[in-house]
Amino acid sequence: MLFIADYGAGNLRSVQKAFDFLGVRAMVSSDPCKLAGCSKVVLPGVGAFGQAIETLNRSGFSEAILEHVDKGGQLLGICLGMQLLLSDSEEMGAYRGLNLVPGRVLHFRSETDKIPQIGWNSVDQQKESVLFRGVADHAFFYFVHSFYCEPHSTDAIAATTWYAGKNFCSAIEKNGIFAVQFHPEKSSDAGLQVLKNFAEC
The CA distance from 173 to 177, in Å, is 6
Q: Identify whether 107 is a catalytic site residue.
A: no
CB 197 within 8 A of CB 95: no
Closest CA to 188 of 127, 128, 140, 124: 140
Preceding peptide of 116 cis, ω within 30°: yes
Closest CA to 61 of 88, 34, 37: 34
Helices (H), 40-177: 49-59, 61-70, 80-83
CB 76 within 8 A of CB 43: yes
Q: Which of 38, 68, 145, 185 is catalytic?
A: 185
Q: Identify whether 145 is a catalytic site residue.
A: no
Q: What is the dihedral of CA 144, 186, 167, 115, to 10 degrees?
A: -20
Q: Residue 132's beta-bridge partner residues?
A: none
Q: Which of 79, 91, 149, 169 is catalytic?
A: 79
Q: Residue 162's beta-bridge partner residues?
A: 167
DSSP code of residue 189: H
Q: Identify whether 90 is a catalytic site residue.
A: no
Residues forming the active site: 79, 183, 185
